[in-house]
Structure 1
Amino acid sequence: MHLTRRVLLTGAAAAALVPSAVAAQSAREKGERIAREAAARTEGYGDLSATGEMILKSAGGQTSTRRFDVKWVETGGGASRSLLVFNWPGDIRNTALLTHSYEGRSDDQWLWLPSLNKVRRISSSGRSGSFVGSEFAYEDMTDQEVEEFTHTWVQDGAGPGGIACHIVDRRPKSASGYSLQRVWFDRQHLRVQQVQYFDRRGAHLKTLRVSGYRLYQGRFWRAGRMDMQNHLTGKATTLTWSNYRFDTGVNPNVLTPNALKRIR
């Protein structure tokens, strides 16, 4: 009698777990589908260049501005290279960040410091560090490749400005300064509208809001503004982007660590 009851209870418990397991699997599958479709819509551009400004804001409200040029080029197989070079003001002029992004493995990054005449490779542990004193980490400046995260759909809900969004949690598979990134993709075009970053202890560290999207070549949406707010320090950094130019003939062979020393 007791054995029969135990079997019945065990069976009931197992049955009760099935719906939650199926739901979890469905949430994971839906999150992966959303992330992959969003990534696919940004690919196939070949190469492009843009100009931008970085505006740093202290907790007390003081601001400083930097200007930069950036170029990207796809190198096949889901890989790409990018080079961001500051051109103003003079104390940061020609400082450059080179990123090689890959599909299925961690990215490589190098920082060119002209004042020291030195190329510094950014280690895996260093990717969580601040990029030139901003609220953007080095890892924020890379392509967020789908394969580098697990994705779980959380719910559909309103994003910034009331935009209808898919809300997806992505967790890094390798070394990262974040334990979790919660991403709002707008449902119409799957453009990133907002990202909440949680540190390794699970605290809500930063929030990124992306706005000012424009459509180029009838296919590619590119943002005009990115606002990163650090909730622990009160500091913020804004990146503004303009003058997007596609098919400018960016040569991937010159986007190499050795070429950084020739930046003038």
Structure 2
Amino acid sequence: MNHRFFFAAVALAGAMAAHAQSAEDKGLAIAQEAEQRGEGYGDSQATMTMVLRNRNGDEAIRSLRSQTLEVADDGDKSLIVFDEPRDVAGTALLTHAHSDSDDDRWLYLPALRRVKRIASSGQTGAFMGSEFAYEDLGSQEIEKYRFKWLRDETVDGVDMHVLERIPKDENSGYSRQVVWMDQAELRLQKVVFYDRKGEHLKTLTATGYAQFLDRYWRPLRLDMVNHVTGKSTTLTFEDYVFDNGFLDRDFDENSLANVR
């Protein structure tokens, strides 16, 4: 045996393994830094407009509002309520995100006057006919993903980190996601979603970022495109307000039917 070749091969294999590990460490570190920068906001609310488009470009418009409560040492709580049109008015989605267990979700359907608990196995379902799945909504806790830094690149003059995140939840509708974040502020710019078969399913783009309280960035527009169906959904946000004094009881599943 050529011992020099053997030891060189071993050294190369070790270097490749170290590089792969460092890519995972770097990806996780970037995700953790992005999360840390967003902490401490307390609570927020906003008005929203949802535009649903079919393959032919026909549109349906809905008015919503949302409120969010930051929870120490766990995922955030969020509530989305539909105001218009009349056939969906009063419909409400409550999400209690968790960092170390399945998220809790409840959907109130006023026509049936009942609260429906959404099981973890149902998180892949479409939210109110949109291209957003239930698992796309609520806070995306980093503990639920395995991260890997893929590369840095410049897109339209903006320096980006490109990360891969793989859901740990076996009930996720995605095998992996590729995420673009700007390097300056670590704001999410784009996510490419791959289905369980590894096929490109959807693309989310976040635009129109605005800064609040001199620290917290929020996108004013989210566009989700389904490349299989040709449908898309746009969410726009207005009237952000922070420090509303929300409490846990404002996000109680037993009070969903009384949300106004």
TM-score, structure 1 normalization? 0.95
Partner SS state of residue 130, structure 1: coil
Distance (whole Å) between structure 1 residues aligned to residue 254 and residue 89 of structure 2? 19
Aligned match of 2:209: 213
Instruction: Name the amino acid aligned to 2:94.
Output: L
Aligned match of 2:77: 81
Partner SS state of residue 76, structure 2: strand
Distance (whole Å) between structure 2 residues aligned to residue 71 and residue 200 of structure 1? 31
Which segments of 5 or more consecutive residues in structure 2 lack a partner in the other structure?
Answer: none
Once the 2 structures are TM-superposed, how far is the Cα of residue 124 of structure 1 from its aligned partner? 1.1
- Tell whether the 8 Å contact from 1:51 to 1:70 is kept in structure 2 after alignment: yes
Aligned match of 2:187: 191
Partner SS state of residue 241, structure 1: strand
Partner SS state of residue 23, structure 1: helix
The RMSD of aligned alpha carbons is 1.3
Once the 2 structures are TM-superposed, how far is the Cα of residue 106 of structure 1 from its aligned partner? 2.2
Aligned match of 1:225: 221
Distance (whole Å) between structure 1 residues aligned to residue 28 and residue 199 of structure 2? 24
Aligned match of 1:121: 117
Which segments of 5 or more consecutive residues in structure 1 lack a partner in the other structure?
Answer: none
1:164 and 2:165 matched: no
Aligned match of 1:99: 95
Distance (whole Å) between structure 1 residues aligned to residue 138 and residue 251 of structure 2? 15
- Tell whether the 8 Å contact from 2:43 to 2:243 is kept in structure 1 after alignment: yes
- Indicate which of 140, 153, 173 corresponds to 1:144: 140
Aligned residues: percent identity?
A: 45
Distance (whole Å) between structure 2 residues aligned to residue 259 and residue 84 of structure 1? 14
Q: Deviations over 1:169-193 (max 9, x none)?
A: 0000112000011000000000000
Once the 2 structures are TM-superposed, how far is the Cα of residue 216 of structure 1 from its aligned partner? 0.5
Instruction: Name the amino acid aligned to 1:32.
Output: L
Once the 2 structures are TM-superposed, how far is the Cα of residue 10 of structure 1 from its aligned partner? 4.8
Distance (whole Å) between structure 1 residues aligned to residue 102 and residue 50 of structure 2? 26
Shifted more, 79-88 versus 9-18: the winner is: 9-18
Aligned match of 2:174: 178
Partner SS state of residue 12, structure 2: helix
Instruction: Name the amino acid aligned to 1:172.
Output: P
Instruction: Name the amino acid aligned to 2:161.
Output: H
Instruction: Name the amino acid aligned to 2:168.
Output: K
Q: Deviations over 1:103-152 (max 9, x none)?
A: 22221111111111111111111101100000000000021111000110
Instruction: Name the amino acid aligned to 2:195.
Output: D
Distance (whole Å) between structure 1 residues aligned to residue 119 and residue 188 of structure 2? 27
Q: Deviations over 1:55-77 (max 9, x none)?
A: 00000010010010100011211
- Tell whether the 8 Å contact from 1:75 to 1:252 is kept in structure 2 after alignment: no
1:39 and 2:35 matched: yes
- Indicate which of 251, 254, 258 corresponds to 2:250: 254
Distance (whole Å) between structure 2 residues aligned to residue 47 and residue 63 of structure 1? 32
Partner SS state of residue 83, structure 1: strand
- Indicate which of 130, 134, 138 corresponds to 1:134: 130
- Indicate which of 179, 200, 203 corresponds to 1:204: 200
Once the 2 structures are TM-superposed, how far is the Cα of residue 102 of structure 1 from its aligned partner? 1.6
- Indicate which of 28, 45, 54 corresponds to 1:49: 45
Q: Deviations over 1:182-230 (max 9, x none)?
A: 0000000000000000000000100000001001010000110000011
